[in-house]
Amino acid sequence: MQSSRQATVWSVLRLAMAVVILAAVITQLTVSLTRTAETGGDVATVFANFFSFFTILSNAIAAVVLATAGARALMRPAEAAGPLGLSAALTCATAYMVITGIVYNALLRGITLPQGSEPVPWSNEVLHLIGPIFLVLDLLIGTRRRALRWQVVWVVVAFPLLWVAYTLVRGPLVTNPTTGEPYWYPYPFLNPNGPGGWGSVAAYVVVIAIGFVAVGFGAVWVTRRRGRAVPTKATTAEAAATEITATE
């Protein structure tokens, strides 16, 4: 069982990481919009495009969930594990950040994306490397989460699938503010106008979806494995009753 001191330290780390991630997102956004305004570009489109990157959305979700989990644990130290809903939210955030880190570092590192990442490399590393690593550590050695049912995996997968649908529908409706092309996709592997066309896009979507399912199952498995050691109010009461009975 984790000590209350360990839970407190990890809660502070969660809050600190949430602040760092939020600062990275705001910095990226500020640089991107400033650059666009200075060159006379379409600020509104660039703003909407910025929040169409899965990287930005996953990091925003992670920051909110980490801040919520950290603050709640500090206010209710006796319930550090939190409710099932919070455990599910943390699991979703973990899966999204892990896939973000894997996809970026495997496919996109070295490719310039219109996010304003070049002028602020520290922000880019937080969003694509440091944040994902922290979420993995949070799952494996951080404050224990409530054990989840396997069905939560489909909750994990739902948001990425909706994002893919949104991206593919929106893509041909937006003019690229940088090149003037009559379409805009946040990542080259989702662009059906590139090499391979729709077949390549479909293949990438299937592979990434499988990745989300695999990471989701892994994250849920860890919560079930580690969650067994988290005492609930019922088990605590039963243990106290047993101890009282034994002393009578």
pLDDT confidence of residue 244:
42
Helix, strand, coil percentages for the chain (3-state, nearest 5):
75, 0, 25
Residue 106 pLDDT: 86
pLDDT of residue 230: 52
Name residues whose C-beta falls within 8 Å of residue 27's C-beta, 6 or more positions apart in sequence: 120, 123
How confident is the model at residue 26, as a pLDDT?
A: 96
Q: What is the pTM of this model?
A: 0.86
* Spans of the chain below 70 pLDDT: 1-3, 80, 112-119, 228-248
Cα 140 to its chain centre, rounded Å, is 16
Domain ranges of the chain: 4-247
pLDDT at 81: 73
